Amino acid sequence: MIVNYTKERIANVLNGTTVEVPSYFMIGSGSGTALATQTTLITPTDRQLMTSRSGTSTYKVMWQGDWNNTEMSGLSLREFGLTISGTGTTGSMWSRTTLPTITFDGSMELQIQEQWEVF
């Protein structure tokens, strides 16, 4: 879900008052419905600089984040999102996605790809 913070940032980019764009993925173990008013994950556990960002077509952008098996060992993933900040684990969320719990046992890596299309 694209949150309200994102809509504000996009308007600010268009009027020239900011150049903020998502640069990090955040993952977490929190549950609950994704709401447009949220600015953070419910229970953030890690934040990673994006592995790649690309314009997959004229109207689409895709972000990718990767975590190795050591980073994921013992974590229970239930939520992820895009954020601008590389410090801390709260605030500045551009999106929040929830999913059924995935528990990592040390043998699995994680790759997240999030794609947006502008209509």
Which of residues 102 and 39 earns the better pLDDT score? Answer: 102
- Measured CA to CA, the distance from residue 42 to residue 14 in angstroms comes to 30
Beta-carbon contacts of 88 under 8 Å, excluding residues fewer than 6 positions away, are: 47
Beta-carbon contacts of 26 under 8 Å, excluding residues fewer than 6 positions away, are: 41, 44, 46, 47, 80, 81, 82, 83, 89, 93
Is the predicted pLDDT of residue 88 greater than 90, yes or no? no
Q: Sign of the C-alpha dihedral, residues 44, 46, 50, 55? A: negative
On whether the CB atoms of residues 59 and 19 are closer than 8 A, the answer is no
Strands (E), 9-86: 24-28, 44-49, 52-57, 60-67, 76-83
pLDDT band, very low/low/confident/very high, at 90 (cuts 50, 70, 90): low
Work out the angle at residue 89's Cα, subtended by the Cα atoms of residues 85 and 94, and round it to the nearest 5 degrees: 50
- Measured CA to CA, the distance from residue 101 to residue 87 in angstroms comes to 25
Q: What is the pLDDT of residues 35-51, one digit of tens each?
A: 889 888 999 999 999 99
pLDDT on residue 84: 87
Q: What is the pLDDT of residues 49-75, one digit of tens each?
A: 999 999 877 889 999 999 999 999 999
The model carries a pTM of: 0.88
Average pLDDT, the chain: 90
Burial of 21 (0-12, 13-18, 19+ CB in 10 A): middle
